[in-house]
Structure 1
Amino acid sequence: MRRFLEHWDDGGVYEPFLTLWRSAAIQPRARQVLHDAMAGPIAERVAAEFGVADAELRVELVASHLAGLAFARYQLRIEPIASSAVEELVAWVGPTVQRYLTEPNPY
């Protein structure tokens, strides 16, 4: 969570990623690249590390949550999300991301 936000705050992926994001709404190839960058092979690592059978769903939940946060913070610049310290966002969002990865499936 912290690394995700710090990476975006540094600007290393900011503009190229937003361009890809905009394209993903209308271009299937861009959508696939975006998906693969955010979730793709990570599911296998999550399954191995946390021993969960539904790793793909869990990773997609994390990816969708982080994508929404990134969109609000960096594209829409919604306050106070846009100006919040990384540590504050980690404190709020981190436990939810952790729950997606480690808690038993509620279904």
Structure 2
Amino acid sequence: MNGLLDPQTPIGLAELAADRLTAAHPTFVAVPWSPHVVTFESPVKTADAAPCGTQLMAKFIADPEAPVDTTCLDNEEKRAPAGDRARRPLQLLGGSRHPRRCDSVWHSLV
């Protein structure tokens, strides 16, 4: 699983890795509103519920041969980075000192 908002492992690289899975039941899940560390960084709207990534992992561990239950994706809390907290990682990764360029990256994701 990989978050679509993950700046450390961009979705394209994750999909390339997923294409090379060779286990008996390879499964890849893209988690729309999650950054890096999907297991912990994919909160859901339901109060006191485990993050979606944790739910996905727990269900897979319980029965690795079953189809992956992705229903928690429908309950994922939609959130996008905002303000300087969003721009700073992009500036560090992309070397951009232009906030508007960084903003346009996030706008294309949301």
Which structure would you say has the larger Rg? 2
Same fold flag (TM > 0.5): no
Higher helix share: 1
Tell me the TM-score normalised to structure 2 length: 0.30
Greater RCO structure (CA 8 Å; 6+ sep): 1
